[in-house]
């Protein structure tokens, strides 16, 4: 776990607001300083988008949100921060001045990062009293969804700063990429800049419109880039002989006049007008909000698909979820050491918009999902984590009996309590009760039998001694509880 609890965000435009949202969603308190009168409204709108995206991205428990506050001065924002992220406009003098002020007002132990897209950290840190704690943490828009963050230290950066920032950003579900050398534009923007220059030339020379340039990317190479990048893709393009053959076949083309990379088209008023007009036509009247949501939903779809492949950004997502599911869930019931002699409150949530039926109520199949999530929370409490699943196996659900008592509507909150009816070396017999979180009213129950299955043989087998020990202690603690109403019931023929 990272020891960072409070963050400061200096400058909350597109990028700063995105950082603030990622921090808040990960339970960190954030103080924002941005002199723009609209900064708070825009940052809250970004947080709304981020919450929406987070709910769609993963079913992992969200935990408590951090608090977002807006303060009137830079000094106030950074005073109590453990981590400061600077996101002011890309002007070196302005950033140097702000970083000097952040350095002067922040606690000596606070880390300070700049989101600069390409300014050199050695130059940015030059005026700081404690330049060792400064680095560039270069993110990508939308910061609350895209995992990449490039880490680049300057000549005065302490290597421990890079390690600490790496650990911190990874804890937020990101993929930190440590640069081996300090260069203008870092790695990602060097690549983006090259593509951007060519794209501008193609439009300038009337080879293609802005929409056609985008089509050339999104129907082809862009699909591959999302998971293999460029080198791994070209290795495959070389066939069985791999990269050597690819270089032999396409290397000579590098000498052809295919690129205008060394040059850049002049942004004359006419050219700007042409780009803007084609861009309007491409957007076809879609609002910024609609396009942002489409972008977010498509990114989520890609990352979820890649998660199923355990590959690239999907692997980052899977690892992040593993950590979220592994967080001790019992603490959520409000007490640091909850009373395990009562049914355990292990899982809670809100009825999501995509879970409802035509009556605006939680649809049937999702009951099984939320009860399944509660069973996962229980087995995680017993010590079944990703490492355990890889080597020892896990609990499989062998039987479920559900009773529906009352409906719950869209966006209403619920929690589930779990009573262990019986536990032994291979079995957990449990009873979940789903409650409305505002009224405590019971909504549905699920009685389940879980069997421990060996990862290698696929057969029912004893759980590890540690899992058995934890299960025995919970079973014993709950042994005196009365049998819940509905337990042991089969389907009845009512009159």
Ligand X SMILES: NC(=O)c1ccc[n+]([C@@H]2O[C@H](COP(=O)([O-])OP(=O)(O)OC[C@H]3O[C@@H](n4cnc5c(N)ncnc54)[C@H](O)[C@@H]3O)[C@@H](O)[C@H]2O)c1
Using CB under 6 A as the criterion, which residues of the chain lie in contact with ligand X when the complex forms? 10-16, 33-36, 39, 87-90, 98, 115-117, 138-141
Question: How many C-beta atoms lie closer than 10 Å to residue 176's C-beta?
Answer: 18
Least spacing, CB of residue 472 vs ligand X, in Å: 52
Of residues 34 and 373, the one with the C-beta less far from ligand X: 34
Q: Which residues contact 94 (CB under 8 A, 6 or more apart)?
A: 88
Whole-angstrom Cα distance, residue 115 to residue 99?
12
Q: What is the DSSP string of 38-100?
A: THHHHHHHHHHHHHHHHHHH--S---PPPPEEE-SSHHHHHTT-SEEEE---S-HHHHHHHHH
- With beta carbons less than 8 A apart as the criterion, state whether 435 and 415 touch: yes
CA angle 9, 14, 15 (to 5 degrees): 50
CB 67, min distance to ligand X, A: 20
**Closest chain position to ligand X (CB):** 13
How big is the chain by its Cα radius of gyration, in Å? 27
Residue number with CB closer to ligand X (138 or 175): 138
* Cβ-based nearer residue to ligand X, 31 or 444: 31
**By C-beta, is 32 or 362 nearer to ligand X?**
32
Task: Name the burial class of residue 329, with classes exposed (0-12), middle (13-18) and buried (19+) by CB atoms within 10 angstroms of its CB.
Answer: buried
Give least dist CB 289 to ligand X, A: 16
Q: Which is nearer to ligand X, 39 or 162 (CB)?
A: 39
Between CA 72 and CA 53 the distance in angstroms is 29
The smaller minimum CB distance to ligand X, of residues 40 and 454, is found at 40
Q: Smallest distance, Å, CB 221 to ligand X?
A: 21
> Smallest gap, in angstroms, from Cβ of residue 136 to ligand X?
10
Give me the least distance between CB of 188 and ligand X, in Å please: 9
CB of 169 to ligand X, least distance (A): 14
Contact 430, 378 (CB under 8 A): yes
C-beta of 21 vs 381, nearer to ligand X? 21
- Work out how close the CB of 293 gets to ligand X at its nearest, in angstroms, rounded to a whole number: 17
Q: What is the DSSP string of 151-210?
A: EE--TT--HHHHHHHHHHHHHTT-EEEE-SS--TTTTHHHHHHHHHHHHHHHHHTTSS-H
Kindly state the smallest distance separating residue 157's Cβ from ligand X, in Å.
18
Compute the least distance from the CB of residue 91 to ligand X, in Å. Answer: 8
- Between 85 and 417, CB nearer to ligand X: 85
**For ligand X, which is the closer residue by CB, 119 or 463?**
119
DSSP 8-state code for residue 229: T
Cβ count near 43 (within 10 Å): 26
Cα gap 437→460, rounded to integer Å: 36
**Which residue lies nearer to ligand X by CB, 22 or 332?**
22
- CB count within 10 Å of CB 259 equals 12
What is the distance between the alpha carbons of residues 352 and 130, in angstroms, rounded to a whole number? 47
| CB-CB contact of 77 with 85 (8 Å) | no
Please measure the distance between the N-terminal and C-terminal CA atoms of the chain and give it in whole angstroms. Answer: 56
């Amino acid at each position: 776990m990272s020891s960072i609890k409070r963050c400061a965000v200096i400058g909350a435009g597109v990028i700063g607001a995105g950082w603030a949202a990622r921090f808040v969603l990960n339970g960190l308190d954030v103080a924002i300083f941005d002199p723009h009168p609209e900064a708070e409204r825009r940052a809250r709108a970004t947080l709304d988008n981020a919450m929406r995206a987070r709910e769609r991205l993963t079913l992992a428990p969200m935990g408590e949100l951090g608090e977002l506050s807006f303060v009137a001065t830079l000094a106030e924002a950074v005073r109590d921060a453990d981590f400061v992220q600077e996101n002011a406009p890309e002007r070196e003098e302005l950033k140097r001045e702000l970083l000097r002020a952040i350095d002067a007002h922040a606690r000596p132990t606070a880390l300070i990062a700049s989101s600069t897209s390409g300014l050199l950290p050695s130059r940015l840190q030059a005026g700081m009293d404690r330049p060792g704690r400064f680095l560039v943490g270069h993110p990508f828009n939308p910061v609350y969804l895209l995992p990449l963050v490039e880490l680049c230290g300057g000549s005065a950066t302490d290597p421990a700063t890079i390690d600490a920032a790496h650990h911190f950003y990874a804890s937020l579900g990101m993929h930190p990429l440590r640069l081996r050398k300090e260069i203008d534009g870092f790695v990602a923007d060097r690549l983006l800049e090259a593509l951007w220059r060519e794209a501008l030339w193609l439009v300038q020379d009337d080879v293609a419109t802005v929409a056609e340039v985008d089509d050339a990317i999104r129907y082809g190479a862009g699909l591959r880039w999302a998971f293999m990048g460029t080198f791994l893709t070209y290795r495959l393009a070389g066939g069985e002989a791999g990269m050597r053959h690819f270089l032999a076949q396409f290397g000579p083309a590098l000498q052809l006049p295919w690129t205008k990379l060394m040059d850049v088209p002049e942004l004359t008023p006419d050219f700007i007008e042409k780009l803007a007009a084609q861009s309007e036509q491409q957007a076809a009247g879609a609002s910024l909000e609609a396009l942002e949501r489409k972008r977010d939903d498509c990114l989520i779809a890609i990352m979820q698909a890649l998660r199923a492949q355990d590959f690239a950004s999907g692997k980052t997502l899977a690892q992040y979820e593993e950590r979220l599911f592994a967080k001790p869930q019992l603490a959520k019931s409000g007490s640091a050491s909850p009373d395990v002699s009562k049914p355990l409150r292990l899982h809670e949530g809100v009825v999501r918009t995509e879970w409802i039926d035509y009556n605006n109520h939680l649809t049937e199949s999702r009951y099984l999902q939320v009860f399944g999530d509660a069973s996962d929370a229980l087995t995680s409490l017993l010590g079944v984590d990703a490492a355990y699943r890889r080597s020892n196996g896990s609990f499989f659900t062998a039987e479920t009996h559900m009773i529906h008592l009352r409906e719950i509507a869209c966006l209403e909150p619920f929690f589930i309590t779990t009573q262990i009816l019986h536990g032994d070396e291979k079995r957990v017999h449990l009873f979940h009760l789903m409650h409305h979180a505002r009224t405590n009213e019971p909504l549905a129950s699920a009685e389940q039998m879980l069997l421990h299955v060996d990862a290698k043989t696929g057969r029912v087998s004893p759980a590890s001694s540690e899992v058995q020990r934890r299960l025995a202690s919970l079973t014993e603690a709950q042994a005196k509880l009365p049998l819940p109403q509905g337990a042991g019931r089969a389907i009845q023929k009512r009159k």
